[in-house]
Amino acid sequence: MCATCMLCNSFHHTGKIPPDSTLIFDIELMEIRNGPRSHESFQQMDLNDDWKLSRVEVKEYLRKEFERHGYSPNDTQHEVMVEDIFKKEDEDNDGYISAREFTYKHDEL
């Protein structure tokens, strides 16, 4: 008798899944939703409380996040990431990401 058949028979007779059984689940993804970016996360990044994010503040945030997750800081990679972030987020091209630009829902998120 195969292991699957034994598991099924055991479950049907006792109503319990035997110990050390391997369960396999099929999960269907129904929907992905984008949550709003919070003012709290913006405030964590806004080091000088001027309600706008500079490249230095975004780079410092990235550095801290990399370290927090066990990665060593990489200034070259962070510069590339900061430039990419500002291209997408700094809508008025003033060199800063405002609180409105940060919390506004974007399609690419």
The string of pLDDT tens digits covering residues 33-84 is 555 577 888 898 999 999 999 999 999 998 988 888 888 877 788 899 999 9
Give the pLDDT score at 95: 96
**43 vs 15, which has greater pLDDT?**
43
Within 10 angstroms of residue 61's Cβ, the number of other Cβ atoms is: 19
pLDDT at 4 over 70: no
- Name every residue whose Cβ is closer than 8 Å to that of residue 58 and which is 6 or more positions away in sequence: 45, 82, 85, 86, 97
Among 20-24, 30-34, 65-69, which is the least confidently predicted range? 30-34
